[in-house]
Amino acid sequence: MEIRHLRYFVAMAETGSLMKAAERLHIAQPALSVHLSNLEAELGTVLVIRSNRGIELTQDGVFLYERAIMLLKYHEESIGALKSRKVATAGKVSIGMVSTMPELLAPSLLRAVRAALPDVTLYISDASSPALYEWLTEGRIDMVVLFNLAEIAELEVVPLFSEAFYLIGADDPSGGRGEIAFDRLGDLPLALPSASANWRKALEEVAGRRGTTLRAVIETESMAALKALAVAGDCYTVLPGPCIRADVEQGLYRACRIVDPDMRGVMSVASLNSRPLGPTQKAVRDILVEVARQIGGIEDAAPVQGALAEVRRVTPSTLFPGQDGRHRRLRVV
């Protein structure tokens, strides 16, 4: 049995007709019939039942069809992987990140890429979620790292890590408990990103459902500014765990996990399905995924996939302002 025999059989099974399969495969129908007879003789079983209406798979035929699909897919993927290995991984790869991520990911990512892909140059840019998505669709960057992004057909989304959110500041408003109820945030002066930031949208959506108003005394997209404002003691801010872990260990500020409800976010890397990543971009993305998951403290995507069902995610349509100039309300999916 050869790969082509499996391909012929799959075509027959999917079209339900020797004539249609022959047209699809661009071979003569008598030749296809001979291939089928030889395949049945080799396997010692009847694979199809022929009638005036076409062909119908027997139980053995269904068994073979299901496995033939998997074998053909594996064969194609193996050929593609071998071809990709022969393509030199070199050039520039551009990655857009929300402002909380470069400080967290860039150093480790650079070291890993330089070790594995010495001929690749990284370009990392940080901006707001709407700007990043616009740059992605315009082809100005290869991939983006975004917060709580929905998995939709338009994007190829790979979850990186899930992490709890913390209120940080110069003092501890929880009284040493290490946790603070979400509703307490409405009593505190906050430094937050702009309303277009995905995790600000998530905070506001939860606040709206609970009848709480968040008091943002200053807005900025800069994580460095958010941290500096919290350290100064004039206000508090909210950041994910990986972004603050080292600072808390150094005693730069205090952190309280936000609970009731438990606030968690999922960071993902996304690219456009309409503009598939090339071998070099894929190699960098694979390294990015590995580095991010190490930083997030996970070994595989299973915990993140589970968290995706629990967090609120935004679709790309919610990343852009509406026609009236105001940002659309967060759409929960």
Task: Tell me the per-residue pLDDT of 39-98, one tens digit each, with 9 for 90 and over.
Answer: 889 889 898 898 888 888 999 889 988 888 888 888 877 777 676 655 557 789 999 998
Q: Do residues 295 and 163 touch, judged by C-beta distance below 8 A?
A: no
How many Å apart are CA 165 and CA 127, to the nearest integer? 20
Q: Do residues 161 and 304 touch, judged by C-beta distance below 8 A?
A: yes
Cross-strand partners of 155: 272
Q: How many residues does the chain have?
A: 333
The predicted structure's pLDDT at residue 322: 35
| Measured CA distances, 321 to 2, 134, 136, 196, 316 (Å) | 56, 12, 17, 8, 11
- Name, in order, each residue with C-beta under 8 angstroms of 48's C-beta and a sequence gap of 6 or more: 12, 13, 36, 55, 56, 57, 58, 61
Task: Tell me the per-residue pLDDT of 256-305, one tens digit each, with 9 for 90 and over.
Answer: 999 988 877 788 899 988 888 988 999 999 999 999 888 776 544 444 44
